[in-house]
A and B are shown apart, each in its own frame.
Chain A
Amino acid sequence: MDWLAILNNTAQSLLSPATMAFALAALGLAMHFGFAGLLNFGIAGYMAIGAYGYAISVLVFGFEWWQGILVSLVASVIFSLILGIPTLRLRGDYLAIVTIAAAEILRLLFLTTAFGDITGGADGLSGYHNSFRAANPFPEADYGFGPWTYNSVELWVLVLGLLALVACVFVLLLLMKSPWGRVIKAIREDEDAVRALGKNVFAYKMQALIIGGIFGSLGGVIYALPSSINPGVYVTSLTFFVWTALLLGGAATVFGPVLGAVLFWVLQSFLSNVLPELVTSGVLPFISSIQASTIRFILVGVGLMLLVIYRPQGILGDKKELTFVK
């Protein structure tokens, strides 16, 4: 077995655009579920809006890369409004059903050939990089060391992703330490009590939905920045992978989603490397190496179950503050 290659690949995922995209999306979910108690199962939809919003505005409308990001964020706000106005007045589980359906509708709209000219249909979108790469402040060279060696384009994506992540973490920290955060946490527990104290609960929930949505769509942009957009990515299982990352780190924490996303990707890439190797070297009998690489998804499922049962508050969470669903 080639342990060096395995460890190298695993180490790379510590700092990759996908990890940062997941961290951003999980941060959005932390806002939604962890702090405001909104059961959003449509985070993949928000990520799709981020990715497609960016690519379409660059490809179709010829926008600059930063304008494309702004379009994505505005689109996610509109999506939150459309989603929230009819559903936030209802009980929490309705939001869960509506968000999962809305994310699927979005994905199918992006997938259908009817809008193929704009969305690229099943092929997805690519080749939207010119404006972004032209703005790259790093001169052509190799940066970093060992597994963390990047060319200037990769570095530019990473730096932008890190900046976005740090900004979002900072904003969430400030928000949750403020009186606004206090109202949000109170709403998570009992809406009626907050309403009885004269707070407009609906407006607060809408604000939380919008902010978390912005984080999620920013995650989608970072996910799309390095290469291309494939509609097959933004499926419901992406939502549940982000949920796994969130619950792993701790839903009602600010740093938990970031830690969770990193651990999730490190584990994923470790398993996807080590399991086929184990088959080739005869340690794992009865299965082919292709089967072995999908076993990791089964392990993710099992891990998620164990997590919810034995450590619902996640790694960084305080059990007193959040044990799964109230």
Chain B
Amino acid sequence: MSSSAKIPGKPASKTTGLHIGEIRPGVSKVDPIVTIDGVSRRFGGLTAVDVEHLEIPRGAITALIGPNGAGKTTLFNLLTGFDKPDTGSWSFAGKSLAGIPAFKVAQMGQVRTFQLTKALSLLTVLENMKLGAKDQRGEKLLYSLFSFLWKVKEVEIEAKAMELLKRFKLDAKKDDFAASLSGGQRKLLEMARALMTDPVLVMLDEPMAGVNPALTQSLLEHVLGLKEQGMTVLFVEHDMHMVRHIADWVIVMAEGRVVAEGPAEEVMKNPAVIDAYLGSHQDTDLGTITGRITLPKGKK
């Protein structure tokens, strides 16, 4: 998969030179889109997130990795206004996001998807897409009663939605309820719907979870395509192949803190990362760990 998942004819070149100075957790970026300072979030006695300083580079694909419970999704929720941190400040494109509700954050161009896909299953695929479009007059209560006030915009939105659906190969399903889509197709639909908002920063929470290998490839291409169109991508993922393959920058979290960051190849060699995330058995076959299968000598 790692070599085949390219946009045909165009090797996915990595963006480099994102940081300033020596690479270490919290390193400054040349052009940060999101800046986080001293953000912490506690649930009772548990500190879910405690980030001193973190910058997300603009125009690149950044992966957020870490073991389960490392605080990745919590950080996502904090950044998108779905949760409020106990301390700290954080900003998006130079504007402070403190106290800004989730829907306003989305309107600013920072759109997210969810770990458990939220395709609106009782709306059709096309309705799902149209819902994503911004600045719809017809969504205002008083305007909505007079269809001549929003028909033109509706046609525009539909054209845009169909174009995106074609790109994501969902156009044949436009009139089906989203409930009838497969898990992978729902992930695609959620991503396509997010794109309807014309985002600046796309935040994907485990885009590959539960997606079959055939769809993985096209999802990867779509994520790479986002960067080509000038968007910034931040994603949480457990699939190391995907991270290695498409991430320009990798941030590793463990126990709520950023323990390492850097370009994918270098981060994966970092002993702290191997310890925290990949585990000491990273190259060991699962069978050997559980003791159920004995592998021939030399293969380990």
Flag if A178 contacts B123 (CB, 8 Å).
no
Q: Find chain A residues with CB under 8 A from B102 CB.
A: 192, 195-196
| CB of A252, distance to nearest CB on chain B (Å) | 9
Chain B 133-183 interface residues, beta-carbon cutoff 8 Å to A:
134, 136, 138-141, 143-145, 147, 150, 154, 177, 179
Indicate whether A195 sits within 8 Å of B147 (C-beta atoms), given known contacts A179-B138, A185-B122. Answer: no
Q: Is B127 an interface residue (CB 8 A)?
A: yes
Known: A174-B145, A189-B122, A192-B114. A182 touches B127 (CB 8 A): yes
Once A196-B80, A320-B177 are accepted as A-B contacts, the answer to whether A189 and B138 lie under 8 Å apart by CB is no
**Least distance between B124 CB and chain A CB atoms (Å):** 10
CB < 8 Å neighbour of A186 from B104, B113, B120, B179: B120
Asked if A201 CB lies within 8 Å of chain B CBs, one says yes
A156, chain B: closest CB distance, angstroms: 28
Q: Which of A193, A200, A322 contacts B118 (CB 8 A)?
A: A193
B residues in contact with A87, CB < 8 Å: none
Which listed residue (A178, A192, A193) contacts B145, Cβ 8 A?
Answer: A178
B130's nearest neighbour on chain A, judged by CB, is A182
A residues with a Cβ closer than 8 A to B are: 171, 174-175, 177-183, 185-186, 188-190, 192-201, 207, 211, 320-322
Chain B interface residue bracket vs A: 35 or more
Asked if A183 and B139 sit within 8 Å, CB to CB, the answer is yes
By a beta-carbon cutoff of 8 Å, the part of chain B in contact with chain A is 80, 82, 101-104, 106-107, 111-114, 118-123, 127, 130-132, 134, 136, 138-141, 143-145, 147, 150, 154, 177, 179, 193-194, 196-197
Interface of A is mostly: helix
Asked if residues A179 and B154 are in contact (CB atoms below 8 Å), the reply is yes
| Closest beta carbon of chain B to A270's beta carbon, Å | 35
Known pairs A189-B120, A192-B118, A320-B122; A171 contacts B145 (CB<8 A): yes
Give every chain A residue within 8 A of B80 (Cβ-Cβ): 196
Contact of B131 among A188, A194, A201, A320 (CB under 8 A): A194
Which partner residue on chain B sits nearest A207 by CB separation?
A: B141
- Which residues of A lie under 8 Å from residue B147 when comparing CB positions? 174, 177-178
Nearest chain B CB to A200's CB is how many angstroms away? 5
8 further interface pairs, Cβ-Cβ under 8 Å (given A178-B145, A197-B131): A175-B141, A177-B147, A180-B140, A180-B144, A182-B123, A185-B120, A197-B111, A211-B141
Determine the residue in chain B with the shortest Cβ distance to A321: B122
Distance in angstroms from A107 CB to nearest chain B CB is 30
Residues B106 and A183 in contact, CB atoms below 8 Å apart: no
